[in-house]
A and B are shown apart, each in its own frame.
Chain A
Amino acid sequence: MELIDHLSMGFQVAFTAQNLLYAFLGCLLGTLIGVLPGLGPVATIAMLLPTTYALPPTAALIMLAGIYYGAQYGGSTTAILVNLPGESSSVVTVIDGYQMARKGRAGPALAAAALGSFFAGCVGTLVIAAFAPPLTEVAFKFGPAEYFSLMVLGLIGAVVMASGSLLKAITMILVGLAFGLVGTDVNSGVARYSFDIPELTDGISFVAIAMGIFGYGEIIANLSMPTEKREVFTDKVSGLMPTKEDFRRMFPAVLRGTAIGSALGILPGGGALLSAFAAYTIEKKSKIKPGEVPFGQGNIRGVAGPESANNAGSQTSFIPLLTLGIPPNAVMALMVGAMTIHNIQPGPQVMTSNPELFWGLIASMWIGNLMLVILNLPMIGLWIKLLSIPYKWLFPAIVLFCAVGVYSENNNTFEIWMVAIFGVLGYVFHKLGCEPAPLLLGLILGPMMEENLRRALLLSRGEWSVLVTRPLSASLLAVAAVLLVIVLLPNVRKKREEAFVED
C-alpha cells in the first residue's frame, strides 16, 4: 500500500524527539495566544510566526501546524466559555456551547469539541494522504491559463462563502492583489510602487500586513468599545468527561460533521466556516430524541457536530494548498507566506521534490491533533485562568509581540513603521465594515496571478480567449461564474444574509 508507505515515512519524520517537541510547543503557544479573547487564528499565527524563523523548514512547518490547531482549539474554548467566537468558524459553536457552560456543563462541551475535533482530524489526515497524490498528478497537467482560472475560482469561492457584502469583499481582494504587486517585478526588474524606499523593493512584508490589520486593527476596535461585563465561567468547569448518554448522542453528530467537513474543506473557499454552518444546520434539522435538550439551549450535538466539521474542513483545506499551492482561506494564505519565508514554494512539486517535508507535515497534523487531546484537555484549568486575565494587561503585551515579531523578520525597524500604517488601515476597514480576510488572500495570490496570466497570454500571443478555449480553464471559470450568479440570485442572497446573521 502506497498510502501506508507514505504515511509511515511521514511518521518517521514527525516522531523524532525534536519534531515532537516542536509540535507540542506549537500547540501550546497556539492555544495560549488563541484563547486570549479578541484574537482570531490569523492574528495568532501571524504573531507566532517569528518563533519559527530560526528552525529548519520541516520543524518550522510542523510547529506552525501545531500553532494552527492550538489557535483553533483556543478559539473554541473562548466560544464556549465566554460566548465570544474567536473566529468565524466557531460562531455556531457559541450557540449551544455557551448555553451548556451556563448550565454548568462547560466540561463536557469542551471535551466534546476536543474529542470530535480529534476524530475529525484523524479522518482528515487519511483523506489528505489519499487524495493529495492523485490531485498532484492533475496539478502537473495545469498550464498557466488553468492556474489563473483556478485562482479566480478560489478567490470567488472564498468571498461567496464568507459573510458580509460581496461587492466590498471582491474589492478587498483586489486591494490585496494591489498590495501584493508592490516590489520588484520579476520579469523586468522594475521596482513597482516602491517610492524609492529600498525596503519596499522586496515587497510589503505580509507579516506586517497581517499583524497590522488583524492584530492592531482588532485591538483598537476592541478598546473603542465600552468595557462590557463578560460572564466567564471559570469556577463552574468541573468534571470534564461527558456522560455515557452524551457520548451516545454526540457520536453520530461527530460522524456527520466529519463527513460534511471533509467534503466541503476541499472546495475553494469552503474550509472551516462553511463546514461548521452546514453541520449545525443538519444537526438542527434532525429529530430531537426524547429527553434531549433542544437546540439553542445547550445540546451537545450542537457543539460536537460543527466542531468536528470545522476541524475536518480545516484539515482537508490543506489539500488545495499542498497540491496546487493555492490557499483556500486567510489562515492558509498565512501558511503560504510562512513556507515562502522558509524557501518552500508550495505547489505540486513539494511532494516529489521534498517528500519528507510533505508527509512529515501531514503526519504532524495528526500528532498536533493528538497533542490537543492528551495535553490540552487536562490543562483546561490553566487556559481558563488565562481567560480571566483583564484585557488591560493583555493588549500592551499583544502590541509588544506584534512589534517584536515584525522587527525580527528582517531585524529592521522599517517593518515597525509598516505595521503602524497597516494598523491604522485595519481600523479604517473595521469602521467601514470591510472584512479584511479576503485582502490577505489577494495579497498572497497577487504575484502568482500576474505571473500565470503573463505566461498564459505570452503562449497564446496575447489572445485573452485562451482562458475560455482550453476546456479545463473554461470549466474552472464557468464554476466561478455559476457561484457568483447563484449568490446574486435574490432568493439565495436573502438566505445567505440570514444564515450569517443567525442568532
Chain B
Amino acid sequence: MKIHSQRDFTAGLLFSAFGVAFAWGATTYSVGTGARMGPGYFPLIVGVLIALLGAVITARALTVPTEDGEPVGAIAWRPLVFIIGANLLFGVLLGGLPGIGLPPMGMIVAIYALTLIASLAGDQFNLKGVLILATVLAIGSYLAFVVALNLQFPVWPSFIVG
C-alpha cells in the first residue's frame, strides 16, 4: 500500500481519531431518542460523521495519485515552541502561578518576557532592538488598554503594589 498524499492521510487519521473520541464522549451523556433528544444525541451524530469522513479522506489518500506525494514537510519547531511559549509565559507572569508560589507579576513584566521569547522565534535576534520594541509595546499597551480602554489588568507585580 502506498500513501499518495501524506497530508490527507494524516489529516484523515486525525479526523477519525477525533470523531471516534467525540462520539464516544457523547455516549457518556444520555443520548435519548429523536423526539426527546438527550445532551448526547447531536454530538453523537457529529462525532460519527467526522469519523466517517476522516476514514474517507484517509482512503482517498491511499488510492488517488498526486503529483508530489503532498508531503507534510518538516515541522517548524523553533517558531512553534517560542511563539506558544511566549504566550504561555505571558499568562503565567500576568496572573501568577499559585502552584509554584509565583505571585502575579503584572502586565509590564509579562510584556517584556513575551517580546523577548517571541523574538527568539525569528531568525534574526538583536537584544537591544528587542528591548526597545518591548519598551514601546509596554508603554503603548499601558496607554491603549489600561488608560484609554479602561480594561482591568494587573499592571505591576502584586508584591509591589500589595
What residues make up the interface of A, taking CB atoms closer than 8 Å to B? 50-51, 53-54, 165, 167-168, 170-171, 174-175, 177-178, 181, 185, 187-188, 190, 192-193, 216, 219-221, 223-224, 227, 391-393, 395-397, 399-400, 402-404, 407-408, 411, 413, 416-417, 419-420, 423-424, 427-428, 431-434, 446, 449-450, 453-454, 457-458, 460-464
Contact = CB atoms under 8 A, between A and B. Distances in A.
B10 interface: yes
A220 B8 CA distance: 21
A417 B91 contact: yes
A464 B41 CA distance: 14
Contacts of A431: 7, 72-73, 75
B83 interface: yes
Contact of B90 (A170, A416, A453, A463): A416
Contact of B76 (A53, A224, A446, A453): A224
Contacts of A221: 76
Contacts, number: 192
13 contacts: A51-B149, A167-B56, A175-B18, A178-B50, A185-B29, A192-B25, A219-B79, A393-B129, A397-B133, A403-B91, A413-B91, A423-B83, A427-B76
Interface of B: 7-8, 10-11, 14-15, 18-19, 22, 25-26, 29-30, 33-43, 46-47, 49-50, 53-54, 56-57, 60, 70, 72-73, 75-76, 78-80, 83-84, 86-88, 90-92, 94-95, 107, 111, 114-115, 118-119, 121-124, 129-130, 133-134, 137, 141, 145, 149-153
B124 A223 contact: no
Sorted nearest first, the 4 A-B pairs with minimum C-beta distance are A224-B76, A462-B35, A416-B91, A462-B34
B36 to A, nearest CB: 7
Contacts of B41: 454
Given A50-B151, A178-B18, A432-B72, 5 more contacts: A50-B149, A399-B87, A420-B91, A423-B83, A433-B11
B14 to A, nearest CB: 7
Contacts of A51: 149
A24 B119 CA distance: 32
A396 B42 contact: no
Nearest to A393: B133
Nearest to A451: B42
A1 B123 CA distance: 62
Most central of A50, A391, A434 by chain B CB within 10 Å:
A434
B64 to A, nearest CB: 11
A152 to B, nearest CB: 12
A404 B39 contact: no
B83 A399 contact: yes
A438 to B, nearest CB: 12
A446 B10 CA distance: 25
A443 to B, nearest CB: 12
Contact of B43 (A181, A407, A461): A181
Contact of A219 (B10, B46, B83, B134): B83
B23 to A, nearest CB: 10
Contacts of B15: 171, 175
Contact of B47 (A170, A178, A419, A432): A178
Contacts of B107: 404
A457 B94 contact: no
Given A188-B39, A400-B111, A417-B91, A411 B152 contact: yes
A433 to B, nearest CB: 5
A201 to B, nearest CB: 13
B11 A396 contact: no
Nearest to A428: B14
A7 to B, nearest CB: 31
Nearest to A421: B84
A227 B124 CA distance: 10
B53 A171 contact: yes
Contacts of A227: 123
Contacts of B35: 457-458, 460-462
A427 B91 contact: no
A167 B42 contact: no
A396 B115 contact: yes
Contacts of B79: 219-220, 223-224
A178 B75 CA distance: 27
A175 B50 contact: yes
Nearest to B79: A223
Contact of A420 (B29, B50, B84, B94): B84
B30 to A, nearest CB: 7
A446 B50 CA distance: 14
Contacts of A54: 149-151
Contacts of B25: 192-193
Nearest to A454: B37
A396 B75 contact: no
Contacts of B49: 174
A391 B40 CA distance: 46
B76 to A, nearest CB: 3
Contact of B145 (A165, A185, A408, A433): A408
Contacts of A407: 91, 94, 153
A474 B121 CA distance: 52
Given A192-B29, A395-B118, A403-B87, A454 B42 contact: yes
Most central of A185, A413, A458 by chain B CB within 10 Å:
A413
Contacts of B124: 392
Contact of A190 (B29, B60, B151): B29
A321 B88 CA distance: 35
Most central of A54, A190, A396, A403 by chain B CB within 10 Å:
A396
